[in-house]
Amino acid sequence: MHPSLPTRRRALAGGIGAALGGAATLGALSGCAAPSATAGPGQTRLRFWHLFGGGDGVNMQGMLDDFRARHTDVALEAVTLQWGAPYYTKLGMAGAGGRAPELAVLHLARLAGFAPGRLLDPFDLDLLADLGVREQDFPPDIWRRGRMAGGQYAVPLDTHPMVLYYQTDVCEKAGLMAGGRLKPIVGADQFADALRAAKKATGLPGLVTETLGPDCITPWRLFATFYAQTGGKVLSDDGRRLALDDTKALRVLTYMARLAEEGLMVRRVDYGASVGVFNGGKTAFHLNGEWEISTFRTAGIPFSMTRVPALFGGAGAQADCHAFVLPHQAGRGGAANLAAHTLVAWMLRNSVAWAEGGHVPAYLPVLRDPAYLALKPQSEYRDVIDDVALDEPAWFAGSASRMWIELGAVFSGVLTGSRSPRGALTEAKARLRNLLDTRNPLPGVAS
């Protein structure tokens, strides 16, 4: 999912130039059909589309190679497509045009835009149960998000939440550590005090995160995390109406502006630079998705990770989930469908390998696996699985979505000082109303 730094920002925006990784590769704008796979005698052809590049691509490739070695009766063809909007456009066209693979990956918060029953087919829950995967093996809220129109259209692989990275040496110097871990931080004032202590110890702002750049989305993810902690909703539960609470939203936006105005966070920095600043080893904290763990480990800096502190009452953290889906096939069934379900079940049961890249497995038995518990710091924030804040179901929400990009641009101004909190709220509501009034552009989807 996460290519190298410069290309990741373009990928998050759905740009054409994102890096590709993993198994075989298709051009982002080529035809929707996957290239032919060669199935030997007695083998079943299984085509699997995903969007994992970078470290995720390496982990995915290793897992797929293990599956092939253990399932010699399946001719597995794994195709890595370009992350972001190009992937979702292509997946939708494949489902609408009858040229879909047997299995694909989808971000769970984007499920509502894929017209379950037209672009996607439901899973056979009895078949999954025969393979050892049942509803009770997942967090209830995440499992329910995969259920639409009377069927289970998505099976979650993980959740990838916003987390707090911290430099252990810097935080020790600032008096923020105890027993080798970051001291608990509760409330917005305590977090601001921690940033002040870090700044006093280093002479540098205590926090760095993406605040600007083309198609910048981290300001949206910050707002979504803190706003979820207030108990507020951006959209109604069905994703059809605006539900922003002005009082709660202004409280969050004012706090975000305050951190920047006081010099407690780096005010103007794009995504790649924000990762680079933290990689320098002198900035105490970095707010980002958990996927940058490989970057910081490669650099060799002394760091760890924890959940985003509960600054506004609740323990929520903005997140999305990678999930498996069955792109629509007119004649779905038989051996190929069995192979697709088999791969899903195998990936879930073996997702300790996937967790090495920072993602929190959605399959609960893995969270109790000693091999997973031995992963540090990955297992340190595993309880976030019960508090993830996914976007409400709307076609324009979820990873690489128009909502992320448009509201990221609005809230970027709060951090850089070009917008007031109240002005940003007014503009965000106007953009959300426009998105609510806009038809889903995917083929085969009714308004």
Question: Average pLDDT, whole number, for the chain?
Answer: 90
Q: What is the pLDDT of residue 446?
A: 55
Statement to judge: residues 144 and 246 lie in one domain: no
Q: How far apart are the first and last CA of the chain?
A: 30
Statement to judge: residues 341 and 409 lie in one domain: no
Candidate from 23-27, 269-273, 323-327 with smallest mean pLDDT: 23-27
pLDDT in tens, 363-380: 999 999 999 999 999 999
pLDDT in tens, 5-64: 333 333 333 322 222 222 233 333 233 333 445 677 789 999 999 999 888 999 999 999
In a domain, 210, yes or no: yes
Statement to judge: residues 145 and 258 lie in one domain: no
11 lies in which domain range?
5-160+320-383
Statement to judge: residues 21 and 116 lie in one domain: yes
Statement to judge: residues 268 and 189 lie in one domain: yes
In a domain, 353, yes or no: yes
In a domain, 444, yes or no: no
Give the contacts of 371 (CB within 8 A, at least 6 positions apart).
352
CA-based nearest residue to 14, from 90, 105, 102? 90
In a domain, 337, yes or no: yes
In a domain, 441, yes or no: no
339: domain CATH number?
Answer: 3.40.190.10
Q: What is the pLDDT of residue 92?
A: 86
Statement to judge: residues 131 and 24 lie in one domain: yes
Statement to judge: residues 56 and 172 lie in one domain: no
| pTM of the predicted model as reported, rounded to 2 decimal places | 0.89
Statement to judge: residues 375 and 265 lie in one domain: no
In a domain, 446, yes or no: no
CA-based nearest residue to 284, from 209, 339, 205? 205
pLDDT in tens, 99-152: 899 999 999 999 999 877 789 999 999 999 999 999 999 999 999 999 998 999
Instruction: Taking residues 203-225, report their average pLDDT.
Output: 96
Give the residues across from 389 on adjacent strands.
Answer: 318
> What is the tally of structural domains in the chain?
2
Statement to judge: residues 362 and 428 lie in one domain: no
Statement to judge: residues 233 and 192 lie in one domain: yes
